[in-house]
Amino acid sequence: MIKNITNVRGFTCWGAHSGVKSLRRDLAIIHSEVPASLGIVFTQNQVVAEPIKITREHAKNGIAQTIVINAGNANACTGEQGYEGARAMVSTAAGELGIDEDLVLVASTGVIGEPFPTGEIVNSVKEIVPKLSNRSSAGSFAANAILTTDTFAKEGFLEFSLDGREVNLAGIAKGSGMIHPNMATMLAFIVTDVDIAPELLQKVVKEAVDDSFNMITVDGDTSTNDMVAVLANGKAGNERIADEKSKDCNVFRNKLREMMQHLAKLIVSDGEGSSKFVEYRVDGAPDKQTARTIARSISDSILVKTAMFGRDPNWGRIVSAAGNAGVPFDYTAVDLYLGNEKERVKVLEKGRPVAYDRNFMKKLLRESHLSVKLDMCEGEASAVAWGSDMTTDYVLFNSVYTT
Amino acid sequence: MIKNITNVRGFTCWGAHSGVKSLRRDLAIIHSEVPASLGIVFTQNQVVAEPIKITREHAKNGIAQTIVINAGNANACTGEQGYEGARAMVSTAAGELGIDEDLVLVASTGVIGEPFPTGEIVNSVKEIVPKLSNRSSAGSFAANAILTTDTFAKEGFLEFSLDGREVNLAGIAKGSGMIHPNMATMLAFIVTDVDIAPELLQKVVKEAVDDSFNMITVDGDTSTNDMVAVLANGKAGNERIADEKSKDCNVFRNKLREMMQHLAKLIVSDGEGSSKFVEYRVDGAPDKQTARTIARSISDSILVKTAMFGRDPNWGRIVSAAGNAGVPFDYTAVDLYLGNEKERVKVLEKGRPVAYDRNFMKKLLRESHLSVKLDMCEGEASAVAWGSDMTTDYVLFNSVYTT
């Protein structure tokens, strides 16, 4: 049926209602039956939530077994009380599971600055541990228990062969692209039964995050709580991946990137204040970093976002946003294409406007998935960023919405 | 990645926010590119919602192409205004899609007796039709847009071979087992690319509903809006199934039942007021109808439900509920087993208590998925019903919850 985290060998999970959020599941545990290699990336925000402080410490040896996530309270800017609460999450889970505390990671998402509801969380952790299950519904419970303003649970599942073994890779994420863009926490938890050395997993995770979650969030806009964690428990029985140049490592790297891009795109798709999904591709860049920076700059431009909402093929705004990226950019060299996922029309050639059918373009831009392609005609590097449009609803939501 | 409705050939869908529910998707459309065979089962409640009246009419010729579902307003007990609103849902969708009105089905779920928000719904239908998509995220949007008190979206996907062709079968459902058991609407929409004659599909759907959704809801407890609809558009290219005794029909029948049982069990799993999932199996019954009736009577007993919550192996309540089913039942002939999905312990043999380890039983009943098996030792027929326990939270929720 629907495959999820519970279909990855050796992993169980659950999600329940601790009482922090009204009538919604808000506490999830993901658990591996054996300690697993860990790859993890944290928020770049200078202010970090209490659970991040603990998880950073526990991540240092590259091994983890259990992740406990609560939604509804971010446990950020909560001081000593919050830190003790996060510690209690760890010690309760470790105690109930009978594992070392430093194998437990914690993450939180929700309202910032409210006292942490330690009592409810601790009681709920105790209730959840005996329920940890590999039934499909348990995966749904966990995926839903980490949500806040999200309108749907974000899940992915992939299976592939490696060293003659079947490997499973599953992930869940939360985050909604448009509501509170500077505040909304992005969390992703990915589990796999592949066997990979911790230090190599860390490297591969970092690369994949750069090509996925970091292409939907401009650096500096990360929240106090952002975290992407990957656990690999080795239960697939493949020969341990330890060489980053090996074929096996390459296969895993590609699958992990595919999973992260899938989850990142689902995050962009969410948010009631947006009406369109836009893919921004930069080709022909002199190097990868330039391509990334320009793609992100365009996707983050409010003028571009509103043009996309208005179905306005406003190439001036796109070129202008590229020019604002802070890297060398020669607009007289570029070709620019606009359209949707099925068809694109060239609107600029070597920086000069190309005549096109305006009615046809309006029709292309009416679809839900738009595509912008900028060819710098300079080198071989490419990058893709994803973003949404900006609607009148967005402004309304942000003026009335209280978390 | 995750497969859903959008992976069934010829089907597209979308789910969006019409404005009826606060900040949540609440309007879904599922569309087949060609008219499809229809199998459909409605509520047995004497009071039916306005959309049911229209959909019943449109279902009469056994063919449909599009289903429009709104959440947040049940359009029940809304009189002429509601009926006109449901008609406007149909005519708008038909107009935007360029198809006949009688190919459009409508369903609603939400608050009963409030005026139907025709304006919002009609505007939203117009916005959704151009967005209908076969992208995976569109499937998630639709699955989430039909929810009300549900804590997670209920989805299923199956693929199988038939007549040498690959057939896809996907479904979504809504309903939460415990909150407002007499009022909560149960909806399920299943789509497949199999080719099957409409009259046969209707028969197979009715049978599958009897073995699934009807084993979680006791007759008479259906809401004003309940509906299970199955569209089969024939895009798999198999030779049309027209003989109910054929091997192909049997394969499809089994897969459809598997899908409906999966969705039904997910509904039982939901509801914050419940803590356990219980499978009630009756074996050795003289006939199927007796087995069904007794399984449902046990699963619906409030005394049994509270015993399950209390981890109390109270066989007296189970036997008593069986005796209350309204069909012949000889408790001196039965064997009864209690436990969880992994292990069961015999507690009654030919109606007499069997000594068992009470501490071990308490441990078995601590798990989230319990199992009760009653062997009538009389005939060959079996039935399975599914239910949840009844918790102190349940009472609390039902006293404070307002839809």
Residues in B touching A369 (Cβ below 8 Å): 133, 135
Highest mean pLDDT among B176-180, B265-269, B280-284: B280-284
Same domain, B92 and B230: yes
Nearest Cα residue in chain A from B255: A1
Q: How far is A187 from chain B (nearest CA, A)?
A: 18
Whether A130 and B265 lie within 8 Å, measured CB to CB: no
Buried b or exposed e, range A204-236, using 16+ CB within 10 angstroms: bbebbbbbbbbbbbbeebbbbbbbbbbbbbbbb
Residue B162 has pLDDT above 70, yes or no: yes
Query: CB of A70 within 8 A of CB of A93?
Result: no
**Nearest neighbour of A156 by CB, restricted to B1, B275, B369:** B1
Is B263 within 8 Å of B212 (Cβ atoms)? yes
Of A130, A272, A401, the CB nearest to B17: A272
Max Cα-Cα span within chain A? 69
Statement to judge: residues A227 and A91 lie in one domain? yes
User: Residues B23, B80: one domain?
Assistant: yes
pLDDT value for B275: 77
- Residue A327's Cβ-count burial label (10 Å; 0-12, 13-18, 19+) is middle
- Verify whether the Cβ–Cβ distance B144 to A155 is below 8 Å: no
d(CA A371, CA B46): 51
Average pLDDT of the residues in B365-391:
91
**Which pLDDT does position A27 carry in this prediction?**
97
Scanning B191-287, the segments in alpha helix (DSSP H) are 198-210, 247-269
Q: How far apart are CA A300 and CA A220, in angstroms?
A: 12
Cα separations in angstroms, B250 against A126, B66, B242, B255: 46, 27, 11, 9
Cα–Cα distance, B305 to B291 (Å, whole number): 19
Q: Tell which residue, B229, B115, B116, B226, has the closest CA to residue B181.
A: B226
Residue B174 shares a structural domain with residue B29? yes
pLDDT at A341: 84
DSSP string, A203-271: HHHHHHHHTTGGGTS-TT---TT-EEEEEE--TT-PPPB--TTSHHHHHHHHHHHHHHHHHHHHHHH--
Q: Residue A60 CA to chain centroid, in angstroms?
A: 22
> Residue with structure tokens 């995976």?
B136
Q: For residues B281 and B197, state if they share a domain.
A: no
pLDDT attached to residue A24:
85
Residues B211 and B334 in one domain: no
Residue of B nearest to A158 (CA): B1
The confidence score (pLDDT) of residue A366 equals 86
Flag the least confident range among B112-116, B190-194, B215-219.
Answer: B215-219
Closest Cβ opposite residue A151 in set B14, B25, B367: B25
Beta strands at B335-340 and B369-375: parallel, antiparallel or unpaired: antiparallel
What is the span of the domain harbouring residue B181? 5-269
> Looking at the predicted structure, is the pLDDT value of residue B229 above 80?
yes
Of the candidates A1, A133, A369, the beta carbon closest to that of B158 is on A1
Nearest CA of chain A to the CA of B358: how many Å? Answer: 19
- For A137, which of B130, B266, B275 is closest by C-beta distance? B266
Question: What was the pLDDT predicted at A218?
Answer: 62
What does the block give as tokens for B263? 């969705």
For residue A285, report the phi and psi dihedrals to the nearest 5 degrees. Answer: -85, 155
Token couple for B296:
């449902």
Which of A182, A171, A152 has the alpha carbon at shortest distance from A45? Answer: A182
User: CA A164: distance to chain centroid?
Assistant: 30
- Considering only CB atoms, which residues of chain A are within 8 Å of chain B? 1-4, 14, 17, 23-25, 127, 130-131, 133, 135, 137, 140-141, 143-144, 149, 151-158, 262, 265-266, 269, 272, 277, 366-369, 397, 401
Contact A140 B152 (CB under 8 A): yes
Distance CA A364, CA A340 (A): 6
Instruction: Label residue B400 by pLDDT band (50, 70, 90).
Output: low
What are the tens digits of pLDDT across the range B302-311?
788 888 888 8
Strand A381-388 to strand A277-285: parallel, antiparallel, or no bridges (unpaired)? antiparallel
Mark whether B152 and B177 lie in a shared domain. yes
Give dist(CA A152, CA B17) in Å, integer.
12
- A190 vs B contacts (CB less than 8 Å): none
Looking at the partner chain, which of A131, A272, A369 has a beta carbon nearest the beta carbon of B368? A131
Q: Per the structure, how many domains does chain A have?
A: 2
B266/A369 touch (CB, cutoff 8 Å), yes or no: no
- Quote the crossing angle between the two packed helices B315-323 and B288-299, to the nearest 10°: 130
| % of chain B beyond a pLDDT of 90 | 71
Complex ipTM value: 0.74
Q: Is residue B229 domain-shared with residue B299, that is, in the same domain?
A: no
Residue B291: is its pLDDT beyond 70? yes
Using the 3D structure, point to which of A244, A269, A294 is the last residue of a domain.
A269
Catalytic residue among B43, B185, B192, B391: B185
Angstrom CA distances, A342 to A384, B130, B237, stand at 17, 14, 26
Residues from chain B that touch A368, judged by Cβ atoms under 8 A, are 14, 130-131, 133
Whether residues B261 and B291 share a domain: the answer is: no
Kindly report which listed range (A258-272, A343-357, B107-121, B169-183) carries the lowest average pLDDT score. Answer: B169-183
pLDDT at A179: 46
The list of chain A residues with pLDDT below 50 reads 179-181, 401-403
User: Do A17 and A88 share a domain, yes or no?
Assistant: yes
Residue B14: band (very low, low, confident or very high) from pLDDT cuts 50, 70, 90: very high
CA dihedral A109, A115, A119, A123 (to 10 degrees): -10
The residues of A assigned a catalytic role are 185
- Is residue B393 predicted with pLDDT exceeding 70? no
Both B43 and B117 in a single domain?
yes
Residues of A in contact with B158 (CB under 8 A): 1
User: Residue B218 has what pLDDT?
Assistant: 62
Residue in A137, A7, A118 with CA at minimum distance from that of residue B271: A137
Task: Judge if B119 and B260 occupy the same domain.
Answer: yes
Where among A269, A301, A333 does a domain terminate?
A: A269
Alpha carbons A345 and A357: distance in angstroms, whole number: 9
Residue B113: predicted pLDDT:
85
- The lowest-confidence range among A141-150, A182-191, B147-156, B283-292 is A182-191
Its pTM stands at 0.84
User: What CATH code is carried by the domain that includes residue B37?
Assistant: 3.60.70.12
Nearest in space to B336 (alpha carbons), one of B363, B290, B298, B303: B298
d(CA B316, CA B324) in angstroms, rounded, equals 12
A288-299 and A315-323 helices, crossing angle to 10°: 130
Do B152 and A153 lie within an 8 Å CB cutoff? yes
Give the residue on A whose Cα is nearest the Cα of B367.
A131
- Domain of residue A302, CATH code: 3.10.20.340
Closest CB to A130 among B144, B155, B366: B366
Strand partners, B42: B227
| DSSP-derived 3-state class of residue B161 | strand
Report the C-alpha dihedral over residues A361, A365, A371, A373, rounded to 10 degrees: 30
Relative orientation angle of helices B79-97 and B118-128, to the nearest 10 degrees = 10
Q: Which residues of B touch A269 (CB under 8 A)?
A: 137, 141
SS3 state of residue A118: helix
Chain mean pLDDT for chain B: 91
Structure tokens of B25? 């998707």
d(CA B68, CA B156): 19
pLDDT of residue B283: 97
Q: Please state, in angstroms and rounded to a whole number, the distance separating the CA atoms of residues B133 and A128.
A: 38
8 Å CB contact of A133 and B266: no
Q: Residue B103's pLDDT is what?
A: 98
Which residues of B sit within 8 Å Cβ distance of A?
Answer: 1-4, 14, 17, 23-25, 130-131, 133, 135, 137, 140-141, 143-144, 149, 151-158, 262, 265-266, 269, 272, 275, 277, 366-369, 397, 401
- Write down which residue in B215, B235, B269 finishes a domain: B269
Contact B149 A262 (CB under 8 A): no
Asked if A370 and A277 count as a contact pair (C-beta separation under 8 A), the reply is yes
pLDDT, position B224 = 85
CB contacts of A4 in chain B (<8 Å) are 2
Residue B273: is its pLDDT beyond 90?
no
Query: Does A17 contact B133 at a Cβ distance shorter than 8 Å?
Result: no
